[in-house]
């Protein structure tokens, strides 16, 4: 028969239990911090209007205003991930920020030069039921846009609108239209191509 040797368990020191709980608390906080940091790239912010956005890359300089003229690239996706608009590999779109659906313009006005954001635009900030006949998505879809601001010309949106008006007058043959051929005018830049939609 074997004898069982009993080893007495020493009592814990007075503050050891407190130290143990503190150590567990620190480990739990560290784990939560690492989890948050690891998922930071997937986190979204929501504005008062309901627009959701994610900052992929912050820009520099002043925040974009309605008076600015922008050069942007964007990729538009349906809720299922299908791409319906893509300006990458083309010339950047030249436009003021309010030349698009409300959610797109709101997102642009949070950005700066060089910024890259992802927007989730709910239907009430999108086409609001006024879809173009050939729209590749439904009226109740949440649309996702990846937007990169290539450049910002502060306060130049009004000048672009003036050039567009002059171009329209030239095309209609209005007499005395500034910048008409033979008057030394510079032809204005074309209207933005490939935009998600106008107001």
Domain ranges of the chain: 45-159
Q: What is the pLDDT at residue 87?
A: 96
**What is the per-residue pLDDT across 163-196, written as a single tens digit (0 to 9) for each?**
777 888 888 875 554 444 433 333 333 323 333 4
Q: What is the pLDDT at residue 187?
A: 32
Give CA–CA dist 194/83, Å, rounded. Answer: 13
Closest CA to 164 of 126, 115, 198: 198
Structure tokens at 98: 């309010």
Mean pLDDT taken over the chain? 79
**What is the per-residue pLDDT across 124-169, written as a single tens digit (0 to 9) for each?**
999 877 787 888 888 889 999 999 999 999 988 877 777 777 888 8
Give CA–CA dist 44/46, Å, rounded. Answer: 7
- The contacts of residue 65 (CB under 8 Å, 6+ apart) are 97, 109, 154
**What is the per-residue pLDDT across 70-81, written as a single tens digit (0 to 9) for each?**
999 999 999 899
Residue with tokens 């003021």, as numbered in its chain: 96
Helices (H), 39-119: 102-108
**What is the per-residue pLDDT across 14-54, written as a single tens digit (0 to 9) for each?**
666 677 777 777 777 777 666 656 555 568 899 999 999 99
Does 122 have pLDDT greater than 90?
A: yes
Q: What is the pLDDT at residue 7?
A: 65
- The contacts of residue 149 (CB under 8 Å, 6+ apart) are 59, 64, 70, 71, 72, 108, 111, 112, 113, 114, 115, 116
* Topology classification of domain 45-159: Chitinase A; domain 3 (3.10.50)
Q: What is the pLDDT at residue 24?
A: 76
Q: What is the pLDDT at residue 2?
A: 59
* C-alpha 26, offset from chain centre: 36
Query: Cβ–Cβ contacts within 10 Å for residue 76, how many?
Result: 24
Percent helix, strand and coil across the chain, each to the nearest 5: 30, 20, 50
Closest CA to 93 of 70, 61, 122: 70
pTM: 0.63
Q: Contact, 45 vs 107, CB < 8 A?
A: no
Stronger pLDDT, 87 or 199, i.e. the higher one: 87
Q: What is the pLDDT at residue 181?
A: 40
Q: What is the pLDDT at residue 192?
A: 32
Please count the CA atoms within 13 angstroms of the CA of 83 that sit on its side-chain side. 8
């Amino acid at each position: 028969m074997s004898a069982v040797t009993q080893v007495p368990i020493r009592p814990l020191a007075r503050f050891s239990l407190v130290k143990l709980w503190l150590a567990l608390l620190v480990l739990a906080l560290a784990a939560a911090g690492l989890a948050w940091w690891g998922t930071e790239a997937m986190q979204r912010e929501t504005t008062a209007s309901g627009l959701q956005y994610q900052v992929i890359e912050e820009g520099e300089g002043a925040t974009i205003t309605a008076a600015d003229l922008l050069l942007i690239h964007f990729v538009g996706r349906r809720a299922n991930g299908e791409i319906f608009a893509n300006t990458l590999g083309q010339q950047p779109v030249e436009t003021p920020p309010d030349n698009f659906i409300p959610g797109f313009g709101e997102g642009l006005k949070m950005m700066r030069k060089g910024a890259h954001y992802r927007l989730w635009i709910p239907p009430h900030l999108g086409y609001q039921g006024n879809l173009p006949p050939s729209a590749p998505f439904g009226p109740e879809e949440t649309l996702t846009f990846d937007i990169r601001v290539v450049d910002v010309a502060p306060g130049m949106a009004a000048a672009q609108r003036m050039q567009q008006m002059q171009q329209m007058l030239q095309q209609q043959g209005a007499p005395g239209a500034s910048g008409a051929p033979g008057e030394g005018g510079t032809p204005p830049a074309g209207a933005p191509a490939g935009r998600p939609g106008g107001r």
